[in-house]
Amino acid sequence: MAVDPTHVKQNDPRLKLKQSDVDFARERQAALRTHFGFSDFHPGQAAALDGLQHGRDVLAVLPTGSGKTLVYELATYLLNRPCLVVSPLLSLMQDQVGRLNQRGERRAVAINSMMTPPERMQALQRLDQFRFIFTSPEMLLNNDVIQALRRLQIGLLVIDEAHCISTWGPDFRPAYRSLGTVREALGEPLTLAVTATADHQVQTDIEKVLQLSANHAVVRQSVDRTNIFLNVMRFTSRKQKNEALLTLVESSKKPGIIYFSSKKQADEWAQRFQVAGINAASYHAGLEATTRFSVQQQFMLDRLQVVCATSAFGMGIDKADIRFVIHYHMPSNLLDYVQEIGRAGRDGQQSIATLLVAPGDAQLPADLADLQLPDKATIGRVYAEHQPVLQSDPERLVGYYKEHGYGMDELIELLAKRLQSRRLALRKLMQYIDEPDCLRKNLLAAFDESAPSHDDHCCANSATTMTLSSLDLADDEPRVNLQLPDWQTQMRQLFSEKFIN
């Protein structure tokens, strides 16, 4: 691309196209040291940055714990233009802004539904003061948001957790399907789509929806996390499963996360563990913001051994030494499962992912797969009415497709296909659970990858027994008797000596 130097700022990304590969490498290495204090990149990070430095859109499929956030943060510093990050969850946005703040980067803001309209207007007016702007796909459907972002000339558009385009887009968060149009409205800025898990279908969906440039780079690292032992345990009754969970958690090296599909169960189990002398707390979207903050911070500060969570906990949790992830309830597909177990062992140390299965467990995800889609009556009603009232999620979903020019039959067909693919995804998960041989081989096959040869640190299917001690994952710490300090002691901890009489 020919660039007139008199009209281009020194740091304009277009100038970088002229630089040699060696310059790029040197530049990102220096930025890594300056901004993060690291000297080496994790696998995949440098390749993703290299693509962006060459002005190419990048789809980066990097496993959890590989430092995806660093890629777009560093790219933003290198490009020296504002970065727009599309993020799926409010809590994730808060975490991301909080973490940037914690690192000393104050020019970060989250524009989301938690702002009142005047607050949002005010933030949009002073958008040029921010380097990192986080928002949701839904927020990008607002014209005033798009106009403000257009004025800003975004340097890098990041789609975080980009697999949501495929997994949530069609039938849960349709705004994800509009991201291509958004990208176009923003002048097709340099784009980075990042995710930890993307099989072939998900990759194709991301590329298609975002309309990535023809020469876009795909940086892919294996989803395999060799330091995570894969384990499936099958029980003959719910009671037996409950007893096993308590024993397993008591005897496992901590900290760990246990995933539940119900908030109530997460609460109940956290209490049960506490009674058993394990320092546990629950985390889900139904808790107050301050409670969620306390649980998260306690976990990060090693004050909490176990978090009983729903899927609300995890995306963005950056704790390196999580030793186990247990699924009390089954997830609905392998993609989610790989995402959630990937929170274990980010430090590279031996960890374990256990899936507990009792009779009837498959029914819940199967019901959810069917239930969450709009039925024909809802579709018919929304299409028949001139200005339908859209109150429920299914109604809003149908409303979205109607508004975007889909015919009723077309939508019915799309949803039928969607249901089919959900059922297929669940079947694949069931096959993983029933795997008679190597779990890792089964899991990786779903992502078109082959597994390393099976050994003692690989996996234990439901027919095999596993011992925690052989993995060095047995709990060896004495039980601590939790004593709540008096208020004076706590005040002295809160405020350093000179602040308190």
Residues binding other proteins (CB under 8 A): 90-91, 93-94, 97-99, 101-104, 106, 108-110, 112, 114-116, 119, 123, 267, 270-271, 274-275, 281-282, 285-291, 293-295, 297-298, 300-301, 303, 482, 484-487, 490-491, 493-496, 498-501
In the bound state with other proteins, the residue whose beta carbon lies nearer, of 73 and 336, is: 73
User: In the complex with other proteins, which residue's Cβ is closer, 6 or 501?
Assistant: 501
Radius of gyration of the chain (CA): 24
Nearest distance in Å: CB 479, other proteins? 15
Nearer to other proteins, 103 or 454 (CB): 103
With beta carbons less than 8 A apart as the criterion, state whether 316 and 339 touch: no
Q: Which is nearer to other proteins, 26 or 107 (CB)?
A: 107
Secondary structure (H, E, C), 52-93: HHCCCCEEEECCCCCCHHHHHHHHHHHHCCCEEEECCCHHHH
Rounded to whole angstroms, how far apart are CA atoms 347 and 371? 39
* CB of residue 269 to other proteins, shortest distance in Å: 12
Q: How near is the Cβ of 109 to other proteins at its closest, in Å?
A: 7
d(CA 205, CA 129): 34
Per-residue exposure over 15-32, b if at least 16 CB sit within 10 Å of its own CB, e if not: ebeeeeeeebeeebbebb
Least distance from C-beta 93 to other proteins, angstroms? 7
Which CB sits closer to other proteins, 30 or 495?
A: 495
CA separation (Å) from 466 to 240, 259, 337, 461, 472? 17, 20, 20, 9, 12
- Is the previous residue joined to 374 through a cis bond, with omega within 30 degrees of 0? no
φ/ψ of 351, rounded to 5, equals: -145, 175
On the CB side of 418, CA atoms within 13 Å amount to 22
Nearer to other proteins (CB atom), residue 110 or residue 460: 110
Residue with token string 């996390």: 225
Check if the beta carbon of residue 332 is closer than 8 Å to that of residue 259.
Answer: no
Residue nearer to other proteins on the CB measure, 299 or 447: 299
Shortest Cβ 290–other proteins spacing (Å): 7
